[in-house]
């Protein structure tokens, strides 16, 4: 009886030991997961919730200067404002219109991933582009001679284009951001390319203002 009792006690102790060991391992794993989540939150707070970004694409193509400010509301969303300044001469471009100054507020949705530390990764946004631009307007008067029949003048115009875009943002532990995006909007105040009488004198105007607005490019920025 004594030997059986000792064996039963030993077996019970061994079983209890293994159960405690398994339970401890599970607790350690749980602690590691919580610790990892906390590290992400701490890093997100440490990096800050504001960003300043410069569009490299505009500098190379136009040249133009586009600066964007973004306020991260939480790991899943943000609001921001983009300012575009055209540094090139409208007459030097091959297009019959060009943006001079644009102001673009936006609201962005992030599809948060833990490895992105919040406010980064794949995103979709809605925006409204307020454009102050120039266009070449062709005036045509059939009553004049052939040499004087056509006359091109540069005119200013204003338009608004709501739209949407998608993109990807990368954020490193130093707070530097790298972003690629593309999107389109539609101007609300523009008409289709058309010919129409101007002042009743027989003169006709032909304008080719754009119907679509583009938003996107490659930016480099810093979170603070």
User: CB–CB of 80/104 below 8 Å?
Assistant: no
- Tokens standing for 189? 């105040």
- What does the buried/exposed string (b/e) look like for 70-87 if buried means 16 or more CB atoms within 10 Å of the residue's CB? bebeebebbebebebebe
Q: In this structure, are 177 and 190 located in the same domain?
A: yes
Residue 190 pLDDT: 72
Radius of gyration over alpha carbons of the chain, in Å?
A: 31
Residue 223 pLDDT: 95
Sequence-ordered alpha helix ranges (H) in the chain: 2-47, 56-61
Domain boundary among 11, 26, 47: 47
Residue 63 to residue 55: CA distance in whole angstroms = 11
Residue 205 pLDDT: 65
Provide the residue range defining the domain that includes 33: 1-47
Neighbours of 199 (CB within 10 A): 7
Q: In this structure, are 128 and 175 located in the same domain?
A: yes
Number of domains in the chain: 2
Q: In this structure, are 59 and 2 located in the same domain?
A: no
Residue 173 pLDDT: 85
Residue 30 pLDDT: 41
Residue 79 to residue 97: CA distance in whole angstroms = 29
Q: In tens digits, what is the pLDDT along the chain, a chain of 224 residues?
A: 555 544 444 555 455 455 545 444 444 444 333 345 676 667 777 889 999 999 999 888 878 999 999 999 988 899 999 999 998 875 555 566 788 999 999 999 999 776 666 789 999 999 999 999 988 777 777 777 766 777 777 888 899 999 999 999 999 889 999 999 999 999 998 755 444 555 545 555 666 678 899 999 999 999 99
If phi > 0 it is left, if psi is from -120 to 50 it is alpha, else beta; for residue 152 that is beta
Q: In this structure, are 96 and 59 located in the same domain?
A: yes
Residue 115 pLDDT: 64
Q: In this structure, are 29 and 61 located in the same domain?
A: no
């Amino acid at each position: 009886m004594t030997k059986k009792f000792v064996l039963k006690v030993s077996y019970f102790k061994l079983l209890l030991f293994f159960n405690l060991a398994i339970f401890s391992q599970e607790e350690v794993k749980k602690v590691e997961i919580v610790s990892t989540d906390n590290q992400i939150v701490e890093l997100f707070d440490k990096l800050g919730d504001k960003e300043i970004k410069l569009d490299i694409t505009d500098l190379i193509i136009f040249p133009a200067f586009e600066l964007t400010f973004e306020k991260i509301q939480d790991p899943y969303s943000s609001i921001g404002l983009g300012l575009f300044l055209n540094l090139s001469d409208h007459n030097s471009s091959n297009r019959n219109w060009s943006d001079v100054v644009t102001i673009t507020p936006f609201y962005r949705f992030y599809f948060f991933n833990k490895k992105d530390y919040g406010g980064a990764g794949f995103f979709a946004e809605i925006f409204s582009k307020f454009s102050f631009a120039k266009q070449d307007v062709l005036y045509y008067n059939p009553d004049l001679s052939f040499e004087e029949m056509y006359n091109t003048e540069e005119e200013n115009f204003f338009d608004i284009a709501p739209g949407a875009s998608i993109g990807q943002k990368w954020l490193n532990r130093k707070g530097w951001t790298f972003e690629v995006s593309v999107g389109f909007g539609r101007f609300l105040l523009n008409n289709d390319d058309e010919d129409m009488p101007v002042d009743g004198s027989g003169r006709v105007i032909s304008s080719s203002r754009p119907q679509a607005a583009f938003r996107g490019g490659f930016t480099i920025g810093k979170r603070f």
